[in-house]
Chains A and B, each alone.
Chain A
Amino acid sequence: MHYRELLLFLFKKLEHERSVNAVFHLLKGKKSAQTLQDAYLFQIENFYGIDRKLKKPTFDVYVRELTENRLVRVENDQAIVTEQGNQILRGRNFQSYYQIKGHKYHQIDREFKQGLILLIQTVSMLIHGENKFIPIVDQPYIQSRVREVLRDYSMQFDMIAEQLYGELHTALSTIDEHLATVLLKQCSGYARVGMSEQQIAVEENRNKEDLHLQTVAAIHNILDTITEQTEQYTLLTKLILKKTNRLTVSAQETFDFYQAGHTLEEIALIRQLKISTIQDHFVEIATHKKVFNIYSFISKQHLDEIQEAIQNTSTRKLKPIKEQLREEIDYFHIRLAIANMNDDKE
């Protein structure tokens, strides 16, 4: 898939609902309650945070291109997909593009990739007798992670090389051949420095952003494979840096108060924040935390009614759902109910 098609797909998902920039924030993985909830609300959480280095000017160029090619119209800051645009989307399944899972992996994928690249380089150099080399990854915490892994294997480099080769070979055999090649081209080691995404893009006559998507897909696929059978991938799974907390800092703070026994209104008062802001936090908490008890905010009966309305309208857009429901059920309740439907909580 091309980046521009992904954008087209995302604009379609947010059509008439959100601004053009919402897509930018989604791809960047903006840590705001709004962006996170939108991701789930519109079922585009797979793409949350998959391009954290995306720059606004680059994004704008893509939007301009889509408009110039009449695939999208921008009206009141919102992107409307044209008939031509719809034709491109028709009959194609973007939802699960290469099984990218941004919502699941956006916090660990880059570190995993860099750890992998550094481990490959280090092991490759060492088995070829090169113990003086410049590490291809700068970040100190990645370097120390890789050092730890080597120490776990008591620096038996030949053994590590064999195991690394074995695990990677099996893992890469399960994923798309082209994706595997794209990833391997970026790896450095003995006698060879890897290519940048930009360089591979030139070679393949694609955009740099397309290549980025493929790289992310490759990494997510590997993560899927190795986390499903951790006992088979003891070396590779060591490279996963655990970062479990998915809440924004502010939502975490609200959650702390809540767990300490404060009500929503009290927290707003203590934190000098608007009620609506705290409500945003609770929607975020409901999205991510298994331990959160939704019934302290909504009755079982109301929850059932909302779920029924969602099924009837077969949408996750708020307005049509609200219209089906009793007056006393407000938007906060609906958002909580939708958040509660996320089955990937921690």
Chain B
Amino acid sequence: MNSAISNDIDQALISLFGFKQFRVGQREIIESIRSGNHTLATLPTGSGKSICYQLPALIGEGMTVVVSPLISLMVDQVKLLKAQGIKRVASLNSMMNAKQKSAVIHRLDTYKLLYCSPEMLQQEQVQLALSNKTIDYFVIDEAHCISQWGHEFRPDFLRLKDVIKKLNNPTVLALSATATPSIRQDIIKQLELPMKQLVYPIDRPNITFSVDEVTPNNKDERLIDLIEQKNIPTMIYFSSRKVSEAIYRLLQNKFPEREVAYYHGGMEQDERLLIQQQFMNNQLDIICCTSAFGMGVNKSNIRLVIHYHMPSTIESFIQEVGRAGRDGKQSVSILLYAPGDEYLPFQLIQTELPTENEVNLFFSEDIHKQPEDYLNETKLRFLELQKEQHHTTDQNEQVQRVIQYRNDREQIKQQSIFKLVDWIKTGACRRARLFSHFQQDVSNAQYECCDCCDFRLEEWRNKPETYQKKNKPRKNNWEAMLGELLIKG
């Protein structure tokens, strides 16, 4: 790589983002795609993957398309960039109405960065418009979703390879913090591209891991005890919206002096926006949330991530824990586990995959039974996709193959739950075990390692901690509030 180009990007890092130095891996990834290599890169959560494509996009000649799995993530990124003064960005997603979409499509020339959902990229109108533009880079953020979701219910992830061809083969960058070797292989296979792999270790040395074994009856009590002692910025993860709200109410009652909120996918858009911004603005001490508030969420000072429910995969766990300590300071992860907790994720599988009976029924094409009546949306999408993927003229054969496939997926899902249960029950170093699925070695913990090594959960939790809140208390009458907002000084 010649130094002139290197210089370019150093300059841009300062002028566009205000950072003096690249972090580990950023320069290498940027240089790799700037030299035209299709690249698959892994870097830890919070390490600055966004800059790896935002910077080259902004200094490139043409346009960059970013595929992102979650609409909320996409919308946030765009807003954030705009707030930073980077205005030539837009997103295309299914939440927009036809008028808004076509407004974006007509103004494609004005954008450097276009965030798109895989589903939108399947629309002919979008493909056509994009194929007339020079696309420098085609980025797939959170690329593990190709492998995790693509096979089951978001087939458009698997169709990205065709989109890439239609866009005249731009340089592809796939990014993830949680891609195991087999997921990386699958990504490369699905994209059908020769890819340079820049695999950086993804462990987080500043996070201390621990599991708190509780009983179903004393889980709430243990949580309350913990929160009582530790008045620090905290996220609590749940697999159920309902429970997240219930515990929110519980905590709100117990700790009226703390700011508690909840966040999940079932809330109104306006409300979600408010809560998220309160969170980013340090107005909340505790947020009770589901995985909807996971991937990509970037707040610097989360000190404690609690899992009230265990997630279904190691990957989700790492993503969620990855919200902690993004400022590099010590942070703690605590998973509350009661025997039998794994029952919930196992049950979840049954709502995601159709039963053998349902597969048979679906293919029997009984005109009296509409698939919509006996299948939920996830199952329906799964079956529609599999019908297409396992197409043969022999219908019996097809049904057998789909059932086989369904069983395979079930097994994969069950195993990933077992992996997490194993991790919960392990007596060996949790850090080493957790990241062993992704890489061979783990760097030493920067602070305490885990409750199987040097971390004493009981001692830690019995040591009260508080933090300096940045916010003044709210005024309580309208006149004062109005003055605070609109009168300077």
A residues apposed to B, CB below 8 Å: 53, 120, 123-124, 127-128, 132-136, 138, 140, 158, 161, 164-165, 168-169, 172, 177, 180-181, 183-185, 187-199, 202
Return the CB mask of B478-489 against A: 1 if under 8 Å, else 0: 110111111110
Q: Which single member of B275, B471, B486 contacts A192 (CB below 8 Å)? A: B471
24 interchain pairs (CB within 8 A)? A124-B486, A127-B488, A132-B83, A132-B84, A134-B80, A134-B277, A136-B273, A158-B488, A164-B486, A165-B482, A165-B487, A172-B478, A177-B478, A184-B481, A184-B482, A185-B481, A187-B481, A188-B274, A189-B485, A190-B485, A191-B471, A193-B274, A196-B274, A202-B252
Among residues of B, the one whose C-beta sits closest to the C-beta of A175 is B478
Chain B residues with Cβ under 8 A from A202's Cβ? 249, 252
Question: Given A132-B85, A134-B277, A193-B281, does the pair A199, B482 have CB atoms closer than 8 Å?
Answer: no
Inter-chain CA distance A133–B476, complex, in Å, is: 25
A172–B481 touching, CB < 8 Å: no
B268 A124 Cβ-Cβ under 8 A: no
B460-489 CB contacts (< 8 Å) to partner A: 471-472, 474, 476-479, 481-488
B277 near A199 (CB under 8 angstroms)?
no
Bound form: Cα–Cα A74–B482 in Å = 46
The answer to whether A192 and B474 touch across the interface, beta carbons within 8 angstroms, is: yes
Asked whether B277 lies within 8 Å of A181 as measured between CB atoms, the reply is no
Is B273 a contact of A138 with CB atoms below 8 Å? yes
In the complex, how many angstroms separate the beta carbon of A138 from the nearest chain B beta carbon?
7
Chain B: CB-nearest residue to A165: B486
Taking the closest CB of chain A, its distance from the CB of B484, in whole angstroms, is 7
Main SS class of interface, A: helix
Asked if B482 and A169 sit within 8 Å, CB to CB, the answer is: yes
Q: Mark B384-417, 1 if CB is under 8 A from A, else 0.
A: 0000000000000000000000000000000000
Q: Does B64 contact A (CB under 8 A)?
A: no
Docked Cα-Cα span, A136 to B271, in Å, equals 10
Q: Is B196 an interface residue (CB 8 A)?
A: no
| Contacting residues, chain B, for A191 (C-beta < 8 A) | 281, 471-472
A134 B481 Cβ-Cβ under 8 A: no
* Across-interface contacts of B476 in A (CB, < 8 A): 181
Say how far B271's CB is from chain A's closest CB, in angstroms: 5
Q: Name the residue of chain A whose CB is nearest to the CB of B481.
A: A184
> B269 in the interface, Cβ–Cβ < 8 Å?
yes
Q: B161 an interface residue at 8 Å Cβ cutoff?
A: no
Checking B83, B482, B485, B488 against A134 with a beta-carbon cut-off of 8 angstroms, the contacting residue is B83
Residues of B within 8 A of A190 (CB): 485
Across the interface, B488 reaches (CB within 8 A) one of A120, A128, A135, A188, namely A128
Distance of A223 Cα from B122 Cα, bound (Å): 45
Among B85, B270, B478, B485, point to the contact of A124 (Cβ < 8 A). B485
B80: chain A residues at CB < 8 Å are 134
- Choose one: B84, B479, B484; the contact of A169 (CB below 8 Å): B479
A contact residues around B484 at 8 Å (CB):
189, 192
Name the B residues within 8 Å of A189 (CB-CB).
484-486
- Whether, in the assembled complex, B299 has its beta carbon less than 8 Å from a beta carbon of chain A, the answer is no
Chain B residues within 8 Å of A134, by CB: 79-80, 82-83, 277
Q: Closest Cβ of chain B: how far from A123's Cβ, in Å? A: 7
- In the bound assembly, the distance between CA atoms of A192 and B75 in angstroms comes to 22
A199 touches B79 (CB 8 A): no
Bound: A195/B487 CA distance, A? 20
| Distance in Å: Cβ of A194 to nearest Cβ of chain B | 6
Q: Does B261 contact A (CB under 8 A)?
A: yes
A53 to B85, alpha carbons, bound, how many Å? 34
Q: Which of A133, A181, A193, A198 has the most B CB atoms < 10 Å from its CB? A: A193
The 9 A-B pairs with the shortest beta carbon distances in the complex, nearest first, are A189-B485, A180-B478, A184-B478, A184-B481, A165-B486, A193-B277, A124-B485, A181-B478, A193-B278
Query: What is the number of contacts between chain A and chain B, taking CB atoms within 8 Å?
Result: 89
Q: Is the CB of B487 within 8 A of A161?
A: yes
Q: Does A187 contact B271, Cβ atoms closer than 8 Å?
A: no
CA distance A202 to B262 in the complex (A): 12
User: Which listed residue, A136, A140, A196, touches B100 by the CB 8 Å rule?
Assistant: A140
Instruction: Please tell me if the beta carbons of A187 and B485 are within 8 angstroms of each other in the complex.
Output: yes
Contacts of A188 in B (CB 8 A): 274, 277
**Chain A: minimal CB distance from B248 (Å):** 9
B283 at interface by CB-CB < 8 Å? yes
Query: Using Cβ atoms and an 8 Å threshold, which residues of chain B touch A181?
Result: 476-478, 481
Residues in chain B near residue A180, CB distance under 8 A? 478
* Alpha-carbon distance between A196 and B273 when the two chains are bound, in angstroms: 10
**Of all chain B residues, which has the CB nearest A183?**
B478
Residues of chain A lying within 8 A (CB to CB) of residue B85: 132
State in angstroms the CA–CA spacing of A177 and B481 once bound together.
Answer: 13
In the docked arrangement, what's the CA distance between A214 and B277, Å?
24
Q: How far is the CB of B488 from chain A (nearest CB, A)?
A: 5
Bound Cα distance A181, B478 (Å): 4
* Alpha-carbon separation in the docked complex, A138 to B96 (Å): 11
Q: Which single residue of chain B is at the shortest CB-CB distance from A128?
A: B488
How far is the CB of A223 from the nearest CB of chain B, in Å?
Answer: 17
CB distance from A250 to the nearest CB of B (A): 21
> Whole-angstrom distance between the alpha carbons of A342 and B77 in the complex?
50
Chain B stretch 16-35: residues in CB contact (< 8 A) with chain A: none
Report the Cα distance A195→B281, complex, angstroms: 12
Other 18 A-B pairs with CB < 8 A, given A193-B274, A195-B274: A123-B486, A127-B488, A128-B488, A132-B83, A134-B79, A136-B277, A140-B100, A164-B486, A180-B478, A181-B476, A185-B481, A188-B274, A188-B277, A191-B281, A192-B471, A193-B277, A196-B271, A202-B252
In whole angstroms, how far apart are the Cα atoms of A72 and B483 in the complex? 46
- Inter-chain contacts of A136 with B (CB < 8 A): 273-274, 277
Residues of A within 8 A of B283 (CB): 192-193
The answer to whether A161 and B100 have CB atoms under 8 Å apart is no
**Residues of the A chain whose Cβ atoms lie less than 8 Å from the Cβ of B483:** 165
Contact A194 B488 (CB under 8 A): no
Q: Which residues in B have their C-beta under 8 angstroms from that of A138? A: 75, 269, 273
Give the chain A neighbours of B269 by CB distance below 8 A: 138
CB-defined contacts of A53 to chain B, threshold 8 Å: 268
Chain A residues near B486: list those with CB within 8 A: 120, 123-124, 127, 161, 164-165, 168, 189
CA distance A134 to B77 in the complex (A): 11
B441 to chain A, nearest CB (A): 40
Shortest beta-carbon distance from A184 to chain B in Å: 4
CB distance from B303 to the nearest CB of A (A): 21
Residues of A within 8 A of B277 (CB): 134, 136, 188, 193
**Is B271 within 8 A of A198, CB to CB?**
yes
Residue-wise, chain B 243-281 has the 8 Å CB interface mask toward A (1 for contact) of 000000100100000000100000011110111011001
* Alpha-carbon distance between A189 and B474 when the two chains are bound, in angstroms: 12
Question: Which B80-125 residues have C-beta < 8 A from chain A?
Answer: 80, 82-85, 100
A residues near B273, Cβ cutoff 8 Å: 136, 138
Contact string against A for B residues 49-92, beta-carbon threshold 8 Å, 1 for contact and 0 otherwise: 00000000000000000000000000100011011110000000
Which residue from chain A places its CB closest to the CB of B261 in the assembled complex? Answer: A199
CA distance A193 to B283 in the complex (A): 8
Contact mask for chain B residues 421-449; partner A; CB cutoff 8 A; 1 contact, 0 none: 00000000000000000000000000000
With a CB–CB cut-off of 8 A, which chain B residues contact A199?
261
- Determine the distance from Cα of A231 to Cα of B21 in the docked complex, in whole angstroms: 56
Residues of A within 8 A of B471 (CB): 191-192
Smallest CB separation, A114 vs chain B (Å): 8
Tell me the smallest distance from the CB of B457 to a CB of chain A, in Å: 31
